[in-house]
Amino acid sequence: MRTQLFVILFLVIEVAEAQNATGVKFEQGLSWAQVQEKAKQENKYIFVDVFTTWCGPCKLMDRDVFPRQKVGEFFNAYFISVKVQADTTEKDTEEVRKWHEAARALAKAYNISSYPTFLFFDPEGELVHRLNGGSPTGEEFIAKAEAALGGYHRQKRQFQTGERDPAFLLGLIKSAQLMNDRETLPAVTNEYLATQQDLLTEENLRLISTATARTTDPGFAVLRDRADRADSVLGEGTSREIVRTVVFDELVFPHLKINGVKKDYGGGMVSYSGEVNKDVDWEEIEKRLNLEFPDLAEEIMVTSKPMYYKWLQDWPAFVSSVSSYRSKIDKTRLNSYANDVFLFSEDPQSLRQALGWSRGTLVGDNKKNPLFLSTYANLLYKTGKKEEAIKVMEEAAELAGEGGGHLTEVIAKMKSGKETW
């Protein structure tokens, strides 16, 4: 009987291993460069599963989808497959550690912010498809992945060689959105909008909100002249905010950084890179703004100067610029400015002035705002008012409730005399 049980157990293990062997074959022991080279040699596409150790859907894909025979047959025939762990843990194997740098580079290059994310590259290493989130079945995942073999890059090349049919452009827009291709999307969208007779439809207004980056773009005049209609779809104040950003990017930013570059990551996340210009003619900038956009000039100056002096790390000048426009700055932005000074400045005068701004934000409902109170408490602490700072931070932690755990840690640092910045 014992022998029979052993044989049955052996057969169960053998069958399970055979089933796993028929699933997706993920490469082991190769670097990213070697994976790319292997794809070229075998003329296969590359499938990259970007996952994290804490991601539930990632684990479900590993358990329920990747081991399936049909999934393995499809991916092993057409792809060189590799798993890339996006987070780091103390339990990471040597193999995982070797991929840490490549994982960070992939996440940054392709704007990966959710998991799992699946990237598909053609044999030449060009991204051709992208999927976000898992699939409940192998069949569904195969159906989604098949689009990679259709070739997003082919659509892009058609566009680059002059294809401007509206239906084609709209299809390419949807593909670019799926791929999170932030460089291609605005160009294609603006070409599509140029083919439209009515820019005020709901669909076109939403496209305008994502693609308008220059004053010459088709949607800029709509946002400027028909803000009422646009805001009825996009939300109150959205048109003015987009117009203000476009004007800043076009008329102001080139003066603030030498060979400056703006990168849009989507979701409102942008970065401005380049060497800070230390010889800015603010009078000339303001003069041009007043000439071309007089209704926006002051608003843009109010935000531009603090941004510039923050880039320059000139905190006395930062404080001076904020103070000169203080009556024009809303409480939320003023709290942010005060927090910047707390975090990065060691200048006593600048800290005292920021403390005054922070105290001034604590009016009305903001008296019970944990975010505003924590900024005020931190500035109190950094300016030497330890006991008062602890009292205010305790109030902020109590108001924050379960979400205030980090504030409790700050209180402990204050009581022990440690830095909280």
For residue range 207-249, list pLDDT tens digits in order. Answer: 999 999 999 999 999 999 999 999 999 999 999 999 999 999 9
Query: Is 330 in a helix, a strand, or coil?
Result: coil
171 within some domain: yes
At 147, the pLDDT band (50, 70, 90 cuts) reads confident
288 within some domain: yes
Nearest-CA neighbor of 188 among 176, 198, 196, 206?
A: 176
First CA to last CA across the chain, in angstroms?
A: 69
> What are the C-alpha distances in Å from 86 to residues 35, 109, 115, 213, 238?
17, 13, 9, 31, 34
**pLDDT value of position 383:** 96
- Clarify whether residues 99 and 146 are in a common domain: yes
**pLDDT value of position 324:** 94
Element (H, E) at 84: strand 79-85
Angle at 319 between CA 283 and CA 313, to 5 degrees: 85
**Could you tell me the maximum CA-CA distance found in the chain, to the nearest angstrom?**
95
How would you classify the pairing of strands 45-51 and 79-85? parallel
- Clarify whether residues 380 and 298 are in a common domain: no
Residue 86 sits in a domain whose CATH number is 3.40.30.10
At 57, the pLDDT band (50, 70, 90 cuts) reads very high
**pLDDT value of position 5:** 40
76 within some domain: yes
Residue 170 CA to residue 204 CA, distance in Å, equals 11
249 or 123: which leads in pLDDT: 249
Query: b/e per residue, 60-77, with b = 16+ CB within 10 A?
Result: ebbebbbbbeebbebbbe
**pLDDT value of position 403:** 80
Residue 382 CA to residue 420 CA, distance in Å, equals 8
At 182, the pLDDT band (50, 70, 90 cuts) reads confident
At residue 19, does pLDDT exceed 50? no
- Specify whether the CB–CB gap between 390 and 355 falls below 8 A: no
At residue 156, does pLDDT exceed 90? no
Q: Which residue has the tokens 């849009």?
A: 264
At 9, the pLDDT band (50, 70, 90 cuts) reads very low
21-30, 98-107, 402-411: which has the highest mean pLDDT? Answer: 98-107
Residue 398 CA to residue 137 CA, distance in Å, equals 45
Residue 6 CA to residue 12 CA, distance in Å, equals 10
How would you classify the pairing of strands 257-266 and 127-132? unpaired
**pLDDT value of position 11:** 40
318 within some domain: no
- Clarify whether residues 269 and 287 are in a common domain: yes
**pLDDT value of position 21:** 57
Mean pLDDT of 59-74: 95
Residue finishing a domain among 312, 343, 367:
312
Please provide the size of the chain in residues.
Answer: 421
Residue finishing a domain among 258, 284, 312:
312
- Clarify whether residues 363 and 297 are in a common domain: no
At residue 86, does pLDDT exceed 60? yes
10 within some domain: no
- Clarify whether residues 183 and 242 are in a common domain: no
At residue 17, does pLDDT exceed 90? no
At 10, the pLDDT band (50, 70, 90 cuts) reads very low
16 within some domain: no
Give Cα 368 to chain centroid, integer Å.
30
**pLDDT value of position 6:** 39
**pLDDT value of position 280:** 96
> What are the C-alpha distances in Å from 371 to residues 40, 365, 374, 395, 399?
52, 12, 5, 11, 10
**pLDDT value of position 7:** 39
- Clarify whether residues 186 and 134 are in a common domain: no
The CB density around residue 19, as the number of other CB atoms within 10 Å, is 13
Tokens of 237: 């104040």
Residue 401 sits in a domain whose CATH number is 1.25.40
Q: Write the CB contacts of 93 (distance below 8 Å, at least 6 apart in sequence).
A: none
Please tell me the number of Cα atoms within 13 Å of 394 on its side-chain side: 9
- Clarify whether residues 143 and 159 are in a common domain: no
> What are the C-alpha distances in Å from 279 to residues 258, 274, 311?
11, 14, 13
| Whole-number percent of the chain with pLDDT over 70 | 95
**pLDDT value of position 14:** 38
Mean pLDDT of 374-379: 97
pLDDT in tens, 264-314: 887 778 899 999 999 999 999 999 999 999 999 999 999 999 999 999 999
At residue 359, does pLDDT exceed 60? yes
At residue 106, does pLDDT exceed 80? yes
Residue finishing a domain among 169, 195, 221:
195
Residue 208 CA to residue 313 CA, distance in Å, equals 35
2 or 96: which leads in pLDDT: 96
At residue 181, does pLDDT exceed 90? no
At residue 140, does pLDDT exceed 60? yes
320 within some domain: no
Residue 250 CA to residue 157 CA, distance in Å, equals 28
- Specify whether the CB–CB gap between 376 and 359 falls below 8 A: yes
70 within some domain: yes
At residue 16, does pLDDT exceed 60? no
Nearest-CA neighbor of 164 among 188, 141, 140, 148?
A: 188
Domain that holds residue 177: 151-195
pLDDT in tens, 304-344: 999 999 999 999 999 999 999 999 999 999 999 999 999 99
- Clarify whether residues 26 and 107 are in a common domain: yes
At 175, the pLDDT band (50, 70, 90 cuts) reads confident
- Clarify whether residues 112 and 188 are in a common domain: no
- Clarify whether residues 236 and 268 are in a common domain: yes
- Clarify whether residues 122 and 161 are in a common domain: no
Mean pLDDT, the chain, rounded, equals: 91
Number of domains observed in the structure of the chain: 4
- Clarify whether residues 57 and 81 are in a common domain: yes
